[in-house]
Amino acid sequence: MNKQGLELIVITGLSGAGRTQAMQSLEDQGFFCVDNLPPTFLVKFAELCAQSRGKVSKAAIVCDLRGGEFFSSLSEALNNLEKEGFRLEVLFLDASDETLIRRYKESRRRHPLSPQGRVLDGIQAERQQLEELRIRADNIIDTTNLSAQQLRSQVAELFCKTQGLGQMAVSVISFGFKYGIPMDADLVMDVRFLPNPFYVEALRPFTGEHESVREYVFGNQMAREFMEKYLDLLEYILPNYIKEGKTHLVIGIGCTGGQHRSVAIAERVGSFLIERDYSIRVTHRDATKNQKRGKTR
């Protein structure tokens, strides 16, 4: 039985947060996937995969509240898997209450923990039940601002072992503090101390991806010194995260509205890490929100 040769991923998280899309992404990568497997069968399932003589080397299991009373035994089942010598990763999918409520309304489905009541009550009860699993998760993805395709892409990037010369995947996200810190951020850098292009009328409509905005941001000596120190810090700490077994790191770069400074800094960080062979994904969560609302900040 080749237990160490089996790559095993357990997908869990809040109802409506995107478990199905995550599983489909792993299926596309050649994982053997099982949806809604009762946790009591996890060890047996893993043993059958390990005994398949290499026919099943990658497997993913979705475990969620649809398992009813069986779901409460998931933490115990995960502990048993580790005791039996299997290597596994737990992927936890999360999203804001507002996003989950909207998705339930669009799908017209009832929440499993509140079939006759308010969706919000079910979401809050589910959060309490899943808190222990969220704490022990190896990877957490906040799907609040992700489309289905973006989620599938992020999962593929997270578990595709051929990218980045075996390095962990790094997501660099620019954001605006006025819209909240990304829920899944591991590291958060506040760059609101830098001069703000918002107060230059000619630059106000653009984002930090525009050359003139970048020149303004990095034309400041303080910004250049900050970048040098911050990139040195990242170059030092990222290899140590890898040594500790981390497979996905989310770096959040925030300014007031997420349009100018954070975008320019995030792009520079992404370029720096690409040069060092990390698997990088740079996204600008809030860069166009102010423009859509008829405001700029």
Kindly report, residue by residue over 194-232, the tens digit of the pLDDT.
999 999 999 999 999 999 999 999 999 999 999 999 999
Is 270 marked as a binding-site residue?
no
Is 146 marked as a binding-site residue?
no
Query: Which pLDDT score is estimated for 166?
Result: 47
Query: Which pLDDT score is estimated for 71?
Result: 64
257: three-class secondary structure by DSSP: coil
Is 67 marked as a binding-site residue?
yes
Query: Which pLDDT score is estimated for 157?
Result: 81
Is 276 marked as a binding-site residue?
no
Is 17 marked as a binding-site residue?
yes
Which residue type, as a one-letter code, is found at position 102?
A: R
Q: Please compute Rg for the chain using Cα positions.
A: 21
Give the domain 7-160 fold: Rossmann fold (3.40.50)
Report DSSP letters for 74-138, one per residue: HHHHHHHHHHTT--EEEEEEE--HHHHHHHHHHHTPPBTTBTTS-HHHHHHHHHHHHHHHHHH-S
Is 14 marked as a binding-site residue?
yes
The model carries a pTM of 0.63
Distance CA 174, CA 79 (A): 36
Query: Which pLDDT score is estimated for 3?
Result: 80
Is 247 marked as a binding-site residue?
no
Is 194 marked as a binding-site residue?
no
For 93-150, the pLDDT digits (tens) are 999 999 999 998 888 788 888 777 788 988 998 999 899 889 999 999 999 988 888 8
Query: Which pLDDT score is estimated for 167?
Result: 59
Mean pLDDT of 223-251: 90
Domain spans, the chain: 7-160, 169-293
Mean pLDDT of 8-27: 93
Query: Which pLDDT score is estimated for 163?
Result: 43
Q: b/e per residue, 149-180, with b = 16+ CB within 10 A?
A: eebbebbbbbbeeebbeebbbbbbbbbbbebe
Distance CA 42, CA 12 (A): 13
Is 20 marked as a binding-site residue?
yes
Is 164 marked as a binding-site residue?
no
Is 18 marked as a binding-site residue?
yes
